[in-house]
Structure 1
Amino acid sequence: MDLFSPSWAALRAAVAGLSDEDFSRPSGCRGWLVRDLVCHLVIDAQDVLITLATPADAEPTRDAAGYWEVGAVPDGEDPLDALTVRLAAAYGEPWLLAFHLDDVGSAAGRAAALADPSARVSTRDQVLTAGDYLSAYVLEWTLHHLDLVAHLPHAPRPPAEGLAGSRALLERIAGAPFPASFSDENALLVGTGRRSPTAAEAAALGELGAGLPLVLG
């Protein structure tokens, strides 16, 4: 949970530093421009606010790793993905989208800082502690920060501690550690299918490679 605030702040700062032209460049999310990704982040921030305001009395059914469900590679037919693209285009001016992310994102950050880590919250028919829920979102922020800067070499990259924490969580989801030869960033990129492993990386992965990529949803 301690990694949530710095990871989220770094991602929002990276968006705030983009030029208007950057919003029209490709992102690391297949089929999405940077503006589409930023619109998705607005929706993510709303989800954080909604979940933290949805208390639960039941015992937790998932932890931070269990929050994520591993599915198939997207086929581009998801209606929610298509809605995100249309919504992003509806903003018209990039500054409006950036302003909305800063507004809602700041509120989500404040709500997270005020949350009791042991409190139980409900989302997607699951019950988690607030601490586990926010820890799960560190992986979301870090992966999307990598998506944001995939074609923007001038933009700041995710903080090292967020990369390390996200790698550790992804390894829990995978059920095995990535090779020590992999940097945290490469473990995340290869592990989630954001790029294919090189021949040397594939050899180092061994049996773990057969279960990749881990498409998280």
Structure 2
Amino acid sequence: MDLFSRSWTALRTAVAELPDEDFAKPSGCSGWLVRDLACHLVIDAQDVLITLVTPAETPPNRDAVTYWEVTGTPPTGEDPLDALTVRLAAAYGEPWMLKFHLDDVGSAAGRAAVLADPGAWVGTKDIVITTGDYLSAYVMEWTLHHLDLIAHLPDVPGPPAEALAEARGMLEKIAGAPFPASFSDTDALLVGTGRRAPTEDERVALGELAVPFVLG
């Protein structure tokens, strides 16, 4: 839960400190500008708040790793929900409005996470999971989206090192094998989730892991 807070705080701080012109630049999410990604983070924060106050009566059937649905198709930005996010982001008009809303809802999600009982059962997306595992899964969410945020913004600070290491560990459990030691945590996450195509040398080193594990 501490790592959830640190990764979420780092991501929100990075967005809050962006100059207005950066919101019109592309993000690492196909079809999304930085403003669209920021809008998605508002929705993510709302999802966290909703989930933390949605108790479940049946035992958990997922954990922080099995929470993720794995597909072999990277998003194109053409999904109806992705397109809705773009329209919502445009409706904000000015970057300061997005910053304000993300800070407002995002801070609330952060406080709720600190106050939550890690052993409590909660329901989300038709699954049951402990609060602790749910928040651990979101370390992956925040870390990947932080990498998406800085994909074309090289001067913006990236995710905390411990969050990158944790997310890599989770992705390796999903993949069922470790990524080559020659891969940095960032490269393992970018290549492993299809955010960046591997070089030829990386493809050889990856072997069967060269197929990206797209998470949803």
Equivalent pair of 2:168/2:185 in contact (CA under 8 Å): yes
**Which one-letter code corresponds to 2:215 in the other structure?**
L
TM-score by length of 1: 0.97
SS, match of residue 3 in structure 1: helix
**Which one-letter code corresponds to 1:45 in the other structure?**
A
Unpaired runs of 5+ in structure 2?
none
The 2-side partners of 1:88 and 1:76 are apart by 14
1:32-67 CA-partner distances (Å, limit 9, x unpaired): 000000000000000000000001111100000111
1:119-147 CA-partner distances (Å, limit 9, x unpaired): 00000000000000000000000000000
**Which one-letter code corresponds to 1:156 in the other structure?**
P
1:24-173 correspondence to structure 2 within 5 Å: 24-71=24-71, 72-173=73-174
1:58-91 CA-partner distances (Å, limit 9, x unpaired): 1100000111001222243311000000000000
Displacement of 1:170 in angstroms is: 0.6
SS, match of residue 121 in structure 1: strand
1:85-107 CA-partner distances (Å, limit 9, x unpaired): 00000000000001000000000
**Which one-letter code corresponds to 2:214 in the other structure?**
V
Instruction: From the superposition, tell whether residues 84 and 138 of structure 1 become closer, same or farther in structure 2 (CA, over 3 Å).
Output: same
SS, match of residue 86 in structure 2: helix
SS, match of residue 154 in structure 1: coil
Q: Which range moved further: 200-209 or 138-147?
A: 200-209
Partner of 2:15: 15
Number of equivalent positions: 215
SS, match of residue 127 in structure 1: strand
TM-score by length of 2: 0.98
The 1-side partners of 2:143 and 2:74 are apart by 19
Q: Which runs of 4+ in 1 moved over 6 A?
A: none
SS, match of residue 122 in structure 1: strand
Aligned residues: CA RMSD: 0.8
Is 1:214 the equivalent of 2:181? no
The 1-side partners of 2:8 and 2:40 are apart by 14
**Which one-letter code corresponds to 1:196 in the other structure?**
A
Unpaired runs of 5+ in structure 1?
none
The 2-side partners of 1:153 and 1:67 are apart by 31
Identity of aligned residues (%): 76
**Which one-letter code corresponds to 1:104 in the other structure?**
V
